[in-house]
Amino acid sequence: MTSSISPKRVLFIGQQPETVDFSDPALPPGFDAAKIHASIAVGMQQMADRGWAAELCLVPPDASATEMVTKQLAGKAFDCVVIGGGIRIPPKSLLLFEQLVNAVHRAASGTAIAFNTTPQDTADAAARWFGRE
């Protein structure tokens, strides 16, 4: 017998690793695009392991980011949107962070918004809003 309960749907928004300024002192030392991609893969797998349907939206750090997020949210219902620490943590990304939060708020007003600290804790960030640890 199959379950009629739909899996939780999560949208994970992060900055395109190739566009990250790795010289920014706000970022952990030793990061590079390959390490971020590997970490994202771990986070996505953790969500799949929990039975969730997760989508990834990697955005550039420019005005096109909000349009990309809005398009990704259009016509879909997500239970949670997680915005990555790479967008939230560096002070120079504050405007981009605000724009993305507001884009999610406008396009998916009933959806929980969560924040991770690294790609590997994305599932835990979403789980806080699902009542699961």
What is this structure's pTM? 0.91
9-130 CATH: 3.40.50
Give every CB contact of residue 85 below 8 A, 6+ residues apart in sequence: 115, 116, 117, 118
Tens of pLDDT, residue by residue, the chain (133 residues): 455 578 999 999 999 999 999 888 887 788 899 999 999 999 999 999 999 999 999 999 999 999 999 999 998 999 999 999 989 988 999 999 999 999 999 999 999 999 999 999 999 999 999 974 3
Amino acid identity at 66: T
Phi-psi group of 30: left, alpha or beta (phi > 0 → left; psi -120 to 50 → alpha; rest → beta) = left
Q: SS3 of 16, please? A: coil
Residue 75 tokens read as: 């016509």
Hey, where are the domains in the chain? 9-130
